[in-house]
Structure 1
Amino acid sequence: MELAFFADPLGEFKLEKDSTFAMMAEAAKRGHRIVAFGQGDFALDRDEVTVRASHIELTGKEDASWFRVLETRNRRLESFDAVIVRKDPPFDVEYVNSTYFLELAEKKGAKVFNRPEAIRSHNEKLTIAQFPEFIVPTLVTSDENRLRAFHREHHDVILKPLNAMGGTGVFRVRVDGINLGAIIETLTENGHKTVMMQKYIPEIARGDKRVLLINGQLVPFALARIPQNGEIRGNLAAGGLGRAQPLSKRDRQIAETLAPVLAERGLFLVGLDIIGDWLTEVNVTSPTCFREITSQTGFDVARMFVDELEKTV
């Protein structure tokens, strides 16, 4: 097969923890042809979507020379066997535009994973509201008065923007309310942007668990990302320590409930974030943690991903 990866610049990959690299390496090992392109490579001419795509060869090294470009040319997206969306957030206007390009290509026959319409329809923060039995008290608004009232009711809360990643812009406000006004002003841009506020979950001290779903199937291990050095964020990008562990009974309950629903909607790869017994995010753009789970448990997540992709394509 020829697999096209829509991703961030290859030279910026952190190979020791990059799930896209793990996917590419597994696919290349099986003899599949690897192509990569980025957000600036799309073009629409009348009704035809093309990308400036680079055919790459993996060198087997895990340093800056991990790939070499063999050829770069304009290609129609439907000419690939599969297009794999691995572009990191922020989910901004340009990201939305990319999903429109991908959706137009789908109508011409391109097979896109995850489906672009499904990515647009599943905000990584807001989607938890579709599964209210698994979430803590949550408010989403840009209204300062409502945010303050929620804090007065729940005393200890987390605030976060809707379209960032890696723990960017996440704040905890305790019962004393110190800096609440400044945080609200900053995150909402004085009432012009919507934010999420949730009741604080103390179990974050034991990790923010990433549970992976691939084609409706559960990866049997989660990566608990444990906050370090006084941080409230477990995200690896924020310095969290990743510890792989078997899924708990509650993890399985949440994952087994969501897996068939999300797969049916065209979400081939999903990363659920679970703190304690509670679902906090549904990641659909570029879920990670393949390499950490594989290195700590021996369960090859990339192999499972490519297995399922081959079955589907």
Structure 2
Amino acid sequence: MRIAFIVDPLDQLKAYKDSSVAMMRAAERHGHEAWALQVDSLAWSQEGGVRGQALRVHTRPDDHDWYRETGRESLALKDFDAVVMRKDPPFDVEYVTATWLLERAEAEGARIFNKPRALRDHSEKFATAEFPQFTVPALVTRDSHALQAFIDAQRDVVMKPLDGMGGSSIFRVHRNEPNRNVIIEVLTQLGQRTVMAQRFIPEISHGDKRILLINGKPVPYALARIPKAGETRGNLAVGGTGVAQELSPRDRQIAESLGPVLAARGLFLVGLDVIGDWLTEINVTSPTCMVEIQQQTGFDVAGAFITALEHACGS
């Protein structure tokens, strides 16, 4: 198979922990060709359809010098057996434009994972509202009075923008927080930006668990991202420590309930975030933690992804 990975610039990827790099390495282990594209090279024309500047990548085990470029050419996305969309947020107008281009490529015969329409229609934070049986009380609004009332009612909440990633701009706000007015003003940009507030979950001290779904089926291990001292965010990007562990019965209940629903929409790779017994986010743009899970458990998550991709493509 020829597999195209739409990723951020290769020299910016941290191979020692990057799931996209792990996927490329796994693709080559399975005997496939790995190609890399960037969204800024995607273009459509009536004559050529959707094309991109594609780099043939040969991966290496050295994380400091992890690839060699062995070819570069403009190729139609339909000429690949699979196209894996792994561009990191921000989910801005350029990201949306990329999904339009990818959807046009689908119409031309390309197989895109995750499906571009599903990516565009899915809010990673607000999507939890569809599954209230697995969530704590939450509010999505830009209205400061509503947010103030929610904080008063729940007493201890977490607030975050809907388009953030990696733990950025997440605030824990107690009922007696002296700066709560300022926090609301900053997060909502004085009422111009919609945010999410969720009741604080104390079990964050035991980790924010990342559960990976591959074509609707859960990986048997989660990565619990445990906050460093003085933090309430477990994200690895802000200093959290990842500890792999088997799924709990509740983890498996959540994963097995959501998996078929999300897979039916074309969300082939999903990262569920679960704190304690509660679902907090449903990540679909570029879910991570494959490398850490494999290093600690021996379970080859990236290899399982490539195997599932082979089956999906009939290879």
Shorter-chain TM range is: over 0.9
Cα distance in 2 between the residues matched to 1:58 and 1:152: 53
Q: Which residue of 2 aligns with 1:57?
A: 58
SS in structure 1 opposite 2:16? helix
Task: After TM superposition, give the deviation of residue 175 of structure 1 in Å.
Answer: 2.1
TM-score, normalising length: structure 2: 0.97
List aligned pairs for 1:71-86, cutoff 5 A.
71-86=71-86
1:93-149 superposed Cα distances (whole Å, 9 cap, x missing partner) = 111111111000000000000000011111100110010111100000011110001
Q: Which residue of 1 aligns with 2:105?
A: 105
1:144-199 superposed Cα distances (whole Å, 9 cap, x missing partner) = 11000101111101000111110001000112122111111111111111100011
SS in structure 2 opposite 1:15? coil
Task: After TM superposition, give the deviation of residue 14 of structure 1 in Å.
Answer: 1.1
Cα distance in 1 between the residues matched to 2:200 and 2:122: 23
Cα distance in 2 between the residues matched to 1:123 and 1:45: 30
Where does structure 1 differ by over 6 angstroms across 4 or more consecutive aligned residues?
none
Cα distance in 2 between the residues matched to 1:232 and 1:239: 11
SS in structure 2 opposite 1:212? strand
Cα distance in 2 between the residues matched to 1:206 and 1:8: 32
Q: Which residue of 2 aligns with 1:257?
A: 257
Task: After TM superposition, give the deviation of residue 229 of structure 1 in Å.
Answer: 2.2
Cα distance in 1 between the residues matched to 2:185 and 2:175: 19
TM-score, normalising length: structure 1: 0.98
SS in structure 2 opposite 1:14? coil
List aligned pairs for 1:203-282, cutoff 5 A.
203-282=203-282
List aligned pairs for 1:1-313, cutoff 5 A.
1-46=1-46, 48-63=49-64, 65-313=65-313
Could you tell me the percent identity over the aligned residues? 54
RMSD: 0.9
Cα distance in 1 between the residues matched to 2:189 and 2:174: 21
SS in structure 2 opposite 1:16? coil
SS in structure 2 opposite 1:17? coil
Cα distance in 1 between the residues matched to 2:250 and 2:272: 13
SS in structure 1 opposite 2:84? strand
Task: After TM superposition, give the deviation of residue 69 of structure 1 in Å.
Answer: 1.3
Q: Which amino acid aligns with 2:208?
A: D
Cα distance in 1 between the residues matched to 2:90 and 2:135: 23
Q: Which amino acid aligns with 2:61?
A: G
SS in structure 2 opposite 1:253? helix
Question: Which stretches in structure 2 are left out of the alignment for 5+ residues?
Answer: none
Cα distance in 2 between the residues matched to 1:199 and 1:215: 30
The alignment covers a number of residue pairs equal to 312
